[in-house]
Amino acid sequence: MSTQYADFLRQDQRLVMLRILSEVPQYRSNSSVIASLLGQFGHHPSRDQVKGDLVWLGEQGLVSIEDIGSVLVVTLTERGGDVAAGRASVPGVSKPRP
């Protein structure tokens, strides 16, 4: 897989994570549930990759993270909601397509 294609997939996967969080109750879920839901959108990362991307999203201020051992519990921030809806952009996260 080319680096360019891998970067595209990673950026799209991060957007999908934000969009998943924007649609769940209290904008909150855990890394295990998010990993399962990503499959419905054509992404099949390992749970370790999901956790890595969630930590990255946390570093960008798009989610807040609570580490409870085997899973991460993440909550969408206001900025993360803006990125998920296309009202803001962050390098490393795809922009939503109409």
d(CA 75, CA 40): 20
State the total domains in the chain: 1
Q: What would the mean pLDDT of 56-71 be, rounded to a whole number?
A: 96
How confident is the prediction for the chain on average, in pLDDT? 95
- Give me the residue label for tokens 């399962």: 36
pLDDT digits (tens, 9 = 90+) for 15-32: 999 999 999 999 999 999
Rounded to the nearest 5 degrees, what angle is found at the Cα of 8, between the Cα atoms of 73 and 16? 35
- Does residue 1 surpass a pLDDT of 70? no
Is residue 12 in some structural domain?
yes
**Exposed / middle / buried, residue 15 (Cβ in 10 Å: 0-12, 13-18, 19+):** buried
- Does residue 87 surpass a pLDDT of 70? yes
CATH of the domain at 54: 1.10.10.10
**CB count, 10 Å around CB of 26?**
8
Look up the domain containing 12 and give its range: 3-85
What is the pLDDT, as a whole number, of residue 24?
A: 95
- Does residue 98 surpass a pLDDT of 80? no
Is residue 91 in some structural domain?
no
pLDDT digits (tens, 9 = 90+) for 32-54: 999 999 999 999 999 999 999 99
